[in-house]
Each structure stands twice: as structure tokens, then as C-alpha cells.
Amino acid sequence: MSEELHEHYAFIVDKGQAPLRIDKFLINRIENATRNKIQQAASFGSIIVNGCSVKSNYRVKPDDKISVMLSYPPHDNLLIPEEIKLDIVFEDEEVLIINKPAGLVVHPGHGNYSGTLLNGILFYLDKLPKNRNNRPGLVHRIDKDTSGLLVIAKTETSMINLSTQFHDKISQRTYTALVWGDLKSESGTINEFIGRDRKNRMLMTVFPDKEFGKYAVTHYKVLERFGYVTLISCTLETGRTHQIRAHMKYIGHTLFNDVRYGGDKILKGTTFNKYKQFVENCFKTLPRQALHAKTLGFIHPKSNKKIYFNSDIPNDFLELIEKWRAYSKHQILHK
């Protein structure tokens, strides 16, 4: 019988929290969790509040200490090789470079047990070294709805070498993003600590110090201005979860159509019908956050030479850029 795998979460309820059913409270804090899954955990006695198991209708109170254990399917089912089309940019005996499409989850997790990039890679390569999180080949990851470049380690030596490069900020990564608003400067650096939001665990937020966040540095540069939105390039020094998304929101320039961080609302410009309709059409053109992992560079773990990869911006993102370019030109002509 295979060993059951669980995912553990712990929360301390904020002092200002109003009474709220614990199943509703947890849905806002656990990524991809469903109410049914949380209610099932409660029925198994796997939701503990202040040391006692509670039912799903328990109402949370300020300072409650909550512990949740959600079960995965059997461990064997998490890493089943599946035939998934891979866009391979480069491959040798040490590394594999993939151009990931938007919408594809990188690795199995709660709510995504199959159909991930890692399932496809395991079909393509049957033997891979595991990282410290027991995930074969993964050196880094990008969000489900972010497109772009990923490196996979094919050997134990490469795994150690590349993980060290990413940790020591030796690797080079740039992203292309479309953000709300017209940035004041042509370039800048955001040097702010990032951690899980205290009220909504699915969000990352900026904190004033390292008590709740981790050191994070994002450099940005304006590529093109469209008035209400700006096309930028972001270079990462660190690789925190949702780093660009959280940092850009912090400085008031949320990623375009980033649902989780509020970029799916009209944040700049007017709410006149024609403008509103134009923006809504743009949301349909790119139904995800406007973020693409464009370049990736690192020192090859065997040859010790610097290698560098550049990926094309996906067609839906290009179409979005062209829409805003045409709209901004139209606005200038009619001023």
C-alpha cells in the first residue's frame, strides 16, 4: 500500500478578523483548495484550532491558531509520466531548456495532480535528479499563467551546480511585462522584502523587514509607453514567489490582467464606454497576467561557459501589445 502524502498549512488569525466560517476562511488562504476538500479535511479531524479539531462550520476568531492537513492522492500518482508536448529550446547531457506555454502548471500540487510540465518531462526523460523538495529536475519555476523559459537539470551534478547559481544570483533572468500606468522613470530598482500575505495566503505582499518577508530585488526598464499602460523589462536578482507581480503592485503598477493582484480591473484611464470596451477586449486577447520569462542565462555546469537563451513573446501577448500601441497612437492623433 502506498504511503499517503499530505500538505500542511498553519495560520494565526489576524487580530481584526470578523467571525467567519473556517471553510470560507481557508479557501482564501490555500491555493487551489475547494470547499469540498476543506470540508472533507474537517470530517477527518484534520483541521485543528487551538489544539482541538473543529467542524467546517466553526467560526474563526482573532488570534486563533489553525493547523490544516490536506491529503494528496497516493504519492505514486503524483509523478506519473504523461505524454505532453514540450517546446524544447536546447538539450545536452546536462540540461534541458523548455519554453513553457501559459496555462501549464510546472509541477504537481494541490488541485493539480497531473497534466503538469513535470509529468511531461518525466515521460520524455525517465531518470532525473531530485531537488530539496523532491521534485525531479526542477531548479526553479514560473507561475502557471506566465509563459517562458525554464532550465531542467538532467544530472545530480547539474542540479547542485544550477541550484547554487540561482541561490547565489549568478543566473540571469529577464521578463517582459505589461503593467498599468505610466512609470515616472525610465528604469528603477525595487528592493523590498516579500512574504505571504497575512490575510490571504494565496497572495505575496511587501513587508518592511525580514520578520515576515524574504529579501527580494527586481530591476525594471521601460521598453515602450502606451499612456495608460507601459511595456517593461524586469531583471531578477532573487527568485521569490510572485516576485514581479508583488513588487509591481507595491509601486502602483500592477501587471495587466493579473487577476490575483487586481490587474483585471481598469486601474488607469477613463471609464468611458469606448475605453472600457477596448480594455475588456484586451483582457479577452490575453486572458492572464501579461508576463513572459523572455531570457535565461547561466554558466553551463560541465563546460563552465556562459550560455544564454532568448524566447519569442507569445502571439497573444504580441497581439495585446499591438492593440495598445495602435490605441495610444490614435489617442495622440486626436488630442
Nearest CA-CA partner of 243 in 231, 261, 266: 261
Q: Which three cell numbers stand for residue 240?
A: 521569490
Torsions phi, psi for 100 (to 5 deg): -80, 130
Q: Could you give the C-alpha distances from 107 to 122, 329, 331, in angstroms and in order?
A: 11, 42, 43
60 strand-pairing partners: 20
Q: Measuring CA to CA, which residue among 68, 66, 56, 70 is closest to residue 17?
A: 66
Residues annotated as catalytic (active site), given as ranges: 143
CA diameter of the chain: 72
Question: CA-CA distance, 9 to 7, in Å (whole number)?
Answer: 7
Grid cell for residue 2: 502506498
Nearest by Cα to 234 from 169, 291, 163, 184: 291
Euclidean distance between the first and the last CA atom of the chain, given in angstroms as a whole number: 72
Phi and psi for 191 in degrees, rounded to 5? -120, 80
